[in-house]
Amino acid sequence: MLSRAPALGRAAWRWFRAFRRTRPFWGAAWLVLGGWTVIKFSLGSLQLVVETGFGAVAGYLTGGGMILCGLIPLVDPRQRYTFGLIGAVLAVVSLVVSNLGGFVVGMLLGVLGSSMMVGWGPKRPRRRERRADAGGGTGAGGGTGAALAEPALAEAD
């Protein structure tokens, strides 16, 4: 039982590494962290939120929207442009509606994460794999470099 634990740990790490490289992981992580920060600095008792109205709920809505905009591209990376832009707008709006956007920290994390998400692109094949494919299959890889690389996402752009 204990002898399989390192192998399972390596397999889990390989899966996570492949997951992280085929999705806008770091942009999503920063955007979710920014949304959590906005919500954290907007916290109040439920009675206060109900009595205050939209002014108190706005922090929850913008922070929750930022978190959703960070999580959706992890499931469907082709939606990174849409939710990256919506996340950036929500981050900037949080400056006005919720304690200066989590005292500016949440807003900056949200803008950073959403810009990273919009700028992310699918992983390209390694240089030696591209050379092997361009060489007509006579390289060391035997022309199978594209098969070894992780499949690129189908872009609808």
Question: From first to last of its 157 residues, what are the pLDDT tens digits of the chain?
Answer: 556 778 888 889 999 898 888 899 999 999 999 999 998 888 766 676 666 666 668 888 999 999 999 999 999 999 999 999 999 999 999 988 887 777 899 999 999 999 999 998 877 777 776 677 776 555 454 444 444 444 455 554 4
- pLDDT recorded at residue 34: 95
Residue by residue, DSSP assigns the chain as -TTTHHHHHHHHHHHHHHHHHTTTHHHHHHHHHHHHHHHHHT---HHHHHHHTHHHHHHHHHHHHHHHHHHHHHH-GGGHHHHHHHHHHHHHHHHHHTHHHHHTHHHHHHHHHHHHHHH--PPPPPHHHHHHHHTTT-STTTT-HHHHSPPPPPP--
- pLDDT recorded at residue 54: 66
Burial (0-12, 13-18, 19+ Cβ within 10 Å), 27 = buried
Tokens of 53: 């109205």
- Rounded to two decimals, the pTM is 0.71
The domain locations on the chain are 23-122
